[in-house]
Amino acid sequence: MPFEAFENDVLGEEQQLAALAQVIRYSNSFSLVFAVCNNTQYREELIGRLQSILEDVPTQVLRLAEKTENLLSALREDSFESVKALFVVGMEGWIESGKAGERHAFILNLNATRNALPTAYSGTLVLWMPEYLAALLHSGAPDFFSVRSGLFYFAPSREERERLSAEASKLSWGETLSLSRVEKDELITRLENLLQDILSIPEDDRDPKAVIRLHIALANAYGAHGLDADALPHELVAVNLSREVYGERHPATFMSLSNLAVTFRAIGRTAEALELQEEVLTARKEVLGERHPDTLTSMNNLAETYRAVGRIADALILQEEVLTARKEVLGESHPDTLSSINNLAGTYAALGRNRDALKLEEEVLTARKKVLGDRHPDTLTSMNNLADTYREMGRKADALKLQEEVLTGSKEVRGERHPDTLTSMNNLAMTYREMGRNADALKLQIEELAACQEVLGERHPDTLISMGNLASTYQEMGRYADALKLHEEVVSASKEVLGEHHPATLTSMNNLANTYEDLGRIPEAIAMYEDAVAGLEDLLGGTHLHTIAGRANLARCRKKLP
């Protein structure tokens, strides 16, 4: 008997609901129905519609607790005597997607207790589950799977699938950074919805590359919004999927890994970032070659992390190499080349080579204004960096002017609570303080610290820096008790989070020593200065400005000893 495959015969959503209702109506003893649906929101909607189709039939929804191991016991906990159909939801809380769960207790229990289920419940048991769970049930509990009285699959229609795939394939994320806050919010909502919809498509029909693209786009959107912790899970999924779809040593997998590392660094997991970036750099050199743009990006990222962990010398070597190569490979005014110059300038500044930094920063700012425009986030970053250097060099008025401009721009472009906006606030406050405008500084710093604690977390490196700065302002104003409390907190947290030898930790130790000194607690001050100076000599060398300043502090303090 020749006939078409059944693809054209499958039931639409309405018909499936009607059929499911019919199973419930016809059943006169225990029966088991599987309803597969990946999208939890859609599932709730379907259950609601079923209940209205079945108006006169008593039904109930059983929401399983997250770690339920046994359906039978869950059924026994309650009495469902007069309930003709029981909709069980929450099974995905038993086994997460992607885990090898075939031998999970819950699956084994299902197989083992299926004959006992009718003793606990005598109506139609409708088990709602995502696709992966249905597949696990089929392979792990074939006996249980075989006694079903109905199998339903609720998924987007074919037209809908095509539309979704097309939408996902059009995604590009290069421009995410320059979107306004509202646009970023909209983008995230749109992408999250699109991801949910795409995941509703049966796995076989789903384009895994579109899924990867979506996760990366989402991570990027969250990252651009300063919500790096929200980006992380998407980066992780993208990495796992990329490995599966493209293979371990494919450029696309490197890209996912590289993104993940950047996010690690942004949320303060620098050790993991460092390890991953070194790994990716080695692999890219081998697979793509020494001067491939992606390899250069890897070197650049790694250098940034080196700087973040205080390995300034390592950062410098890498950055100079990247800059030379980028100029040759990409050209002098390519945005990536400009980034390189900017990053190198940052390292010069960290090394106290302010003149070198200044020269490069002015160069980048001019170029960025021309290439990207006045309000582009990268342009703002450039202005911010230049202002820092002005301040370091004592050009406070120049710094102030620039920083006020940056803060206004950043609030507008990135949003009030974006990490980069918070950094701008912090920087401006420092300049206020240095100019003696302590009240202005204090107001700004209190506001900024509260935002940091909320957005970045209590122990994020940037939050600690903010606390230290606020403490210094207190001290400047003579509020020693407030200053001391905060400084001590910062030192102990920095040692834990960043390590003993991190520049930020050493700075915070120096500041704490200074407070002890002001309070007349000279022996404690000396001990702390000594530790800080030893660390600075080690890290930055004997001739660095900070080291010299530290030594001067120590000498001055020693003189105060009786």
Partner 1 sequence: MSTPIAKLFQACDPMKPATSEQYVDCSDVRGGHAFTREFCGALTNAGDDGSFLRFLITGHVGGGKSSELLHLKAQLEQMEKPYLVVMMDSKEYIDDNDVTPNDILLAIVSELAETVKAKAGINLDDSYFVKKLNEASDLLKSTVEVSEGDVTAGLLKLKVKLLRIDESARRKVRGALVQNESSFIQQINLVFEEARTAIRKKNYRDIVLILDNLEKIQRIDGVDEGTESHRELFIARAQKFVGLNCNFVLTVPLTLVNTHGGQLRGAYGQPPHTLPMIKVSDRSGKRYDGGYVKLRELLSKRGANPEVIDNDARDLLIEYSGGHVRDLLGTLRGAISTASGSKVVLADAKAALGQIVRSLTVSRAAWERLVALEESPDRTLDLNDPVCISILEQLYALEYVNGEDNQGFLQDQEAWYAIAPVLKELRSYTTALSAYKADLLKQ
The candidate with the shortest Cα–Cα distance to 560, out of 510, 526, 509, 534, is 526
Contact 339, 304 (CB under 8 A): no
Any bridge partners for residue 31, and if so which? 124
Contact 13, 27 (CB under 8 A): no
The residue range among 133-141, 344-352, 451-459, 505-513 that interacts with partner 1, by the rule CB under 8 A, is 133-141
Residue among 74 and 135 whose Cβ is closer to partner 1: 135
- Residue from 89, 95, 134, 428 binding partner 1 (CB under 8 A): 134
CB 318 within 8 A of CB 304: no
Q: Is 130 helix (H, G, I), strand (E, B) or coil?
A: coil
Binding residue for partner 1, selected from 172, 204, 543, 562, defined by CB under 8 A: 204
Q: Which of 151, 271, 397, 552: binder of partner 1 (CB under 8 A)?
A: 151
- In the sheet with 124-129, reading across from the earlier edge strand, the strands are 59-63, 85-89, 124-129, 31-37, 150-154
36 vs 455, beta carbon nearer partner 1: 36
- Smaller CB separation from partner 1, 104 or 250: 104
> For residue 46, with 0-12 CB atoms within 10 Å meaning exposed, 13-18 middle and 19 or more buried, which class applies?
buried
As a dihedral over the C-alpha atoms of residue 406, residue 355, residue 367, residue 347, rounded to 10 degrees, the angle is: -80
Q: How far is the CB of 5 from partner 1 (least distance, A)?
A: 5
**Least Cβ distance, residue 281 to partner 1 (angstroms):** 33
Interface residue with partner 1, options 112, 287, 393, 545 (CB under 8 A): 112
CB of 29 to partner 1, least distance (A): 7
Q: Kindly indicate which of the ranges 102-110, 379-387, 395-403, 483-491 contains the residues binding partner 1, using the contact rule CB under 8 A.
A: 102-110
By CB under 8 A, is residue 199 in contact with partner 1?
no
Q: Which of residues 5-34 bind partner 1 (CB under 8 A)?
A: 5-7, 9-11, 15-16, 18-20, 22-23, 25-32, 34
- Quick one: 17 or 467, whose CB is closer to partner 1? 17
CB of 25 to partner 1, least distance (A): 6
Q: In the range 62-101, which residues lie near partner 1 by CB under 8 A?
A: none
Query: Tokens representing 324?
Result: 């030379």
Residue-by-residue DSSP string for 378-401: HHHHHHHHHHHHHHHTT-HHHHHH
Residue 334 CB contacts under 8 Å (≥ 6 apart), including other chains: 326
Residue 142 binds partner 1 (CB under 8 A): yes
> In Å, what is the CA distance from 133 to each residue of 88, 113, 161, 237, 386?
14, 18, 21, 18, 55
Identity of the residue, 6 or 170, whose beta carbon is nearer to partner 1 in the bound complex: 6
Among 41, 52, 79, 146, binds partner 1 (CB under 8 A): 146
Number of residues interacting with partner 1: please give it, by CB under 8 A.
54
Secondary element (H or E) of residue 121: none
Q: Considering the rule CB under 8 A, would residue 149 count as an interface residue with partner 1?
A: yes
Q: Which residue, 11 or 549, is less far from partner 1 as judged by CB?
A: 11
Please tell me the distance from the alpha carbon of residue 295 to that of residue 298, in angstroms, as a whole number: 5
Q: How far apart are the first and last CA of the chain?
A: 109
36 binding partner 1? (CB under 8 A): yes
Cα 278–chain centre separation: 20
DSSP state of 416: T
Shortest spacing between CB 124 and partner 1, in angstroms:
11
- Of 131 and 462, which has the nearer Cβ to partner 1? 131
Residues that bind partner 1 (CB under 8 A): 1, 3, 5-7, 9-11, 15-16, 18-20, 22-23, 25-32, 34, 36, 103, 108-109, 111-112, 114-116, 118, 131, 134-135, 138-139, 142-143, 145-153, 155, 202-204
